[in-house]
Amino acid sequence: MSESNGVKSAVEPGNRVAIGITFGNSNSSIAFTVDDKVEVIANEDGDRQIPTALSYVDGDEYYGTQAKAFLVRNPTNTIAYFRDFLGQEFKSIDPTHCHAAAHPQDASGAVSFTVKDKAGEEDAPSDISVSEAATRYLRRLVTAASEYLGRKVTSAVITVPTNFSEKQREALIKAASDADLEVLQLISDPIAAVLAYDARPEAKTEDKIIVVADLGGTRSDVAVVASRGGMYTILATAHDYEFAGVHLDQALMEYFAKEFIKKHTVDPRSNARSLAKLRLESEATKKALSLGTNAQFSVESLADGFDFSATLNRTRYEMVGRKVFEGFNRLVESVVKKAELDVLDVDEVIMCGGTSHTPRIATNFQSIFPESTVILAPATSTTAINPSELQARGAALQVSLIQEYEATDIEQSTHPAVTTVKHISNAIGVVTVNAEGEDVFTPIMQAETAVPARRTVHIAAAAEGGDVLIKVVEGGTHIKVTKPEPKARVEEVPEDEDDSDFEDEEEEEKREKIWKIGTPLAEAAIKGVSKGGKVEVTINVAGDLSVTVTAREVGGKGGVRGNLQAP
Amino acid sequence: MASVSQVVTLPLPALPEGWAADKDFKAVGKLSGAVQRSIEPVGPHFLAHARRARHKRTFSEDDRIQAQESAKNVEDVDDGDESEPEDPMMLQSQAKDWKTQDHYKVLGLSKYRYKATEEQIKKAHRKKVLKHHPDKKAALGRAEDDQFFKCIQKATDILLDPIRRRQFDSVDEEADVEPPTKKQLQKGDFYKLWSKVFKSEARFSKTHPVPTFGDANATKEHVDEFYNFWYNFDSWRSFEYLDEDVPDDGESRDHKRHVERKNQNSRKKKKAEDNARLRKLLDDASAGDERIKRFRQEANAAKNKKKFEKEAAEKKAAEEAQAKKEAEEKAKADAEAAAKADREAGKKAKEAAKNAVKKNKRVLKSSVKDANYFTSGDASAAQIDAVLGDVELVQGKIDPDEIAALAGKLNGLTVADEIKGVWTAEVKRLVDAGKLKEGEAKTLV
């Protein structure tokens, strides 16, 4: 995007080798596109999810899985979970997750880490600013990608959370350019995930409301996205730091620690190294339980020299993590509410981020949303894409779209003047007749569609043909709640508590989404439609909200055309 | 934007009769409005949009800033509202005393308490973490000072778990509003003071909305609803939070069970006490509630009014009956009197008539006597007899009125011929009327 502050000049579009990067707080991913197919790159260690960690041992730099492993033996010289600190002041960062790694330090307002990154006993530890850490880490990612592709990677599209401030974005771009990486564009996490799904060859461009639940390691971000003809508008977001992957790890840690205490009467949490071992293995167990129904937890010399090994099944795990799972449910529900929508309005739920592998979360979401809503997660959909890779894929797709453009072109295209447009508040549609002979609203253009927009629809004329009326109206939805008839209570025993619980379950109310016809916009007539014929109606809303309605019989000539003035 | 072609199976309505418009199109309304939002600059369709938009781009720099500013912001602005001042005593609190700490106060949410939303709690927690994380303390050179941080974590832990939060809210005395004392009630507004109490009690209700206490002008229905609801209050309040710690399973099982039982009992007891407390609260409130008194008075007044009306109606009916009876009696008496008078009058008239007839008869007889019995010279006895006999015959044939008329005609007449003429005319009239036969009363002809 921006090339200010002495950032190196742009790479010529012809010489670009560009990849998509997801730079996460816990894990990062890199991906590239070849012949419209996206591939997520595995690094030297064979990882596609590369832990966001750097570790220094005797002057050697390790990153990814190796660095993460050093959290046990070398925590003070290991930098982890630092992405969110980029561009932040020391007083506004949350260092909780760095507790078991190098602690962030206050470097006159900025954030830095003090680690020994040089060999030799006499060398004093050096201060590494967050920006420097990010640069070093990105450089490693770029190297991994370059080795894989056999060409030097020059540019990238990086995904960022929707609440990344302008300052954080600038800091990220600066860190990248320090790593000799040109940032073509920063795109938001949820949209990258949506794009990854929409770019599948079998995907159709539909008007739909998507909830993107990005459940990561240290934070959960949920966004409600309106997808309208392939254009995406974020309607609401929520960012949660209380319910995320680490909290599931935490729950498992508590559980295993208690088990360990039972056996050995030593608390493994009282010792930093034991705690780190416990954490690493808990995370591994959690991941294993996303795939299998049983997992082995085993650590050698967990505490006081005692080895520890235990088996955990998924049911028990789901009990242990119930609190966190419920937190996810509430989070998703609250965002839908924040977008002033109902769960019935949601057509798709895309689950991304590593925590989304957990089957329980997906099945919980299934119970929140109506059956018609598609939950795209490995546990609920066979066609789901690996949630950990979604965002990297999206970024790679965006790269393939924009890499031929000049940097200035990209910047101008993504400027708010282009991206900020009017979105119609009510759906536009026509009145049709249902089987009972009642007028019903049939949407043609959904609410929250960005203008200018055009939609075409084919509508059956009356069965015997003849003259038909096309009444263009605005429409709104409301949720109709029908409560089932309360059952006649059969000799209720007052003490029987279980009985009442049972009844609650039975009395589930039925909720439906109902369209209602709003303000009329225009009327048009098509005369002499042949028997069994169809009418094509095109609605074109211009940027100034003026509307053009075109209607004609499919296959017929002429037709009717009319304009509505801009309000 | 790509033209998305969908197919709708429901048919269009038929054109109504008489529908007509220029070129078969009629504009009726306009779009009702739009929201400025930012589309994400991502994806092939956006690229197309950007191309289109940029080709006819006429936005000035000013427009750019405007557009940016007017876009509806979906991201939360981190409201930097000043959080509550932190009590230095609170900062000294120890994590092991978490049971006694005020979790809302720790997070700086004392003014929200049970009303705090999950989002508020998360935000508050984040704010506190940013400030009190041990690493931040370390930066200030105060190492090993993580007690208050642990308190923060514990508070968040409890408040973010809906079940444990309810348990804490159940015993959160800070959120309780004490019922007003008599002194306060004398000074302050009764309804306002009690409203506050019930508003805070309402947080325990399983059903919502909870009817409000209302003010002095509340309707009877409102007040009735209020008391009905509250006397049947369904509360979720529970007292697990005050439980004595159950020893870990390592120790004696019996002891553990004993403590558990004790806890159960004390919960039950506290719940019962709480129910009693609420009942007393309601009794107190209703005892002092002027509205109830007023309604009672009104009800009494209405009842009395009815009674009074009924009595009045009865009285009126009785009076009317009496009047009617009197009138009837009077009418009867009047009628009797009239009849009596009539009878007497009739009697008198009869007598008068009788007298008149006698008198007239005398006139008739005297008239023939005046006419010297229609003879010249002295009349013989036989003649007199014959004439008087005929006069009597005529008298017997005619009624008193005719007698009177005849008497009238004869009265004053002294000339025998004239008298004779009258009598002749009379007899003739009678013969004509068939009352006398031809030849009778010859003497008078």
Transcribe B296-351 into DSSP letters. HHHHHHHHHHHHHHHHHHHHHHHHHHHHHHHHHHHHHHHHHHHHHHHHHHHHHHHH
Residue A204, pLDDT score: 82
Flag whether pLDDT at A497 surpasses 70: no
Residue A239 has pLDDT above 80, yes or no: yes
User: How does pLDDT run across B245-260, given as a tens digit for each residue?
Assistant: 777 766 678 888 888 8
CA–CA separation, A557 and A535 (whole Å): 11
- Give dist(CA A424, CA A539) in Å, integer: 13
- HSE at residue A274, side-chain half, CA atoms within 13 A, is 20
Checking if the pLDDT of A547 tops 80, the result is yes
Q: What is the mean pLDDT of residues A77-86?
A: 92
ipTM above 0.85, yes or no: no
Point out the residue among A394, A468, A564 whose CB comes nearest to the CB of B15: A468
| pLDDT on residue A7 | 44
Task: Name the region of B172 (left: φ>0; alpha: ψ -120 to 50; beta: rest).
Answer: beta
Residue written as token pair 């708010």: A416
pLDDT the model gives residue A254: 94
- Would you call B3 and A417 a contact, using CB atoms and an 8 Å cutoff? no
**Is the Cβ pair A432, B10 closer than 8 Å?**
yes
Q: Which residue of B has its CA nearest to A442?
A: B8
* pLDDT for position B408: 80
Chain A residue with minimum CA distance to B25: A524
Residue A1 has pLDDT above 70, yes or no: no
> What residues have CB less than 8 Å from A212, skipping those under 6 apart?
A189, A190, A191, A193, A194, A222, A223, A224, A225, A349, A350, A352
- Residues shown for chain B: 445
Q: What is the pLDDT of residue B403?
A: 77
Whole-structure pTM value: 0.70
> pLDDT tens digits, residue range A53-78?
999 998 899 999 999 999 998 899 99
What pLDDT is recorded for position B12?
A: 79
Residue A54 in contact with residue A78, Cβ under 8 Å? yes
Residue B177: its pLDDT value, please? 80
A526·B63 Cβ contact <8 A: no
State the angle between helix axes of B253-287 and B220-231 in degrees (0 to 180), rounded to the nearest 10.
160
Q: Please, which residues 214-273 of chain A have a Cβ atom closer than 8 Å to chain B?
A: 225, 228-242, 262
A240-265 burial, b if ≥16 CB within 10 A, otherwise e? bbbbbbbbbbebbbebbbeebbeebe
Of these ranges, A233-237, A539-543, B400-404, B437-441, the one predicted with the greatest mean pLDDT is A233-237
DSSP characters over B4-51: EEEEE-SPPPBPPTT---GGGEEE------EEEEEBPS-SHHHHHHHH
Q: Which of residues 508-567 of A touch B (CB under 8 A)?
A: 518-527, 534-535, 538, 541, 545, 547, 549, 560-567
Q: Closest residue of A to B77, CA-based? A: A163
pLDDT at B354 (0 to 100): 84
Structural tokens at position A17: 């080798």
Q: Which residues pair with A114 in a beta bridge?
A: A127
Q: Could you please report the per-residue DSSP string of B374-413?
A: G-SSSPPHHHHHHHHHHHHHHHHHS-HHHHHHHHHHHTT-
Residue A88 pLDDT > 50: yes
Q: Which residue of B has its CA nearest to A559?
A: B24
For residue B251, the chain A residue with the least C-alpha distance is A262
Instruction: Quote the CA–CA distance of B151 and B92 in Å, as a whole number.
Output: 10
Enumerate residue ranges in chain B where pLDDT < 70.
1-6, 54-83, 143-144, 249-251, 376-377, 379, 439, 441, 445
Q: DSSP code of A121?
A: S
SS3 B144: coil
Distance separating alpha carbons of residues A361 and B80, to the nearest angstrom: 33
Residue that wins the pLDDT comparison between A12 and B376: A12
Contact yes or no for A236 and B21 at CB 8 A:
no
Whether the Cβ atoms of residue A211 and residue A335 lie closer than 8 Å to each other? yes
Q: Which has the closest alpha carbon to A534: A467, A473, A429, A459? A: A459
pLDDT at A83 over 80: yes
Residues from chain B contacting residue A398 (CB–CB below 8 Å): 42-43
Q: Is A442's CB within 8 Å of B7's CB?
A: no
Residue contacts between A and B (CB atoms, under 8 Å): 314
CB contact under 8 A, B10 and A474: no
Report which of residues A80 and B413 the model is more confident about: A80
Bigger pLDDT: A451 vs B300: B300
The residues, any chain, with a CB within 8 Å of residue A1's CB and separated by 6 or more, are A169, A173, A183, A184, A185, A186, A410, A411, A414
Angle value at C-alpha A149, between A146 and A153, nearest 5 degrees: 40
Window 147-186 of A, Cβ < 8 Å to B = 162-163, 185
Cβ separation of A418 and B13 shorter than 8 Å? no
Contact A334 B24 (CB under 8 A): no
Nearest by CB to residue B26, choosing from A466, A522, A566, is A522
- Kindly report the CA angle at B11 between B6 and B16, in degrees rounded to 5? 130
Interface residue A34 vs chain B (CB under 8 A): no
Chain B residues in contact with A560 (beta carbon < 8 A) = 23-25
CB A473 within 8 A of CB A431: yes
B18 exposure class (CB count in 10 Å sphere: 0-12, 13-18, 19+)? exposed
Percent of the residues in chain A that have a pLDDT greater than 90, as a whole number: 49
Measured between beta carbons, the chain B residues lying within 8 angstroms of A561 are 25
- Nearest residue to A435 via CA among B9, B276, B101, B284: B9
Chain A residues whose CB is inside 8 A of the B7 CB are 457-459, 534
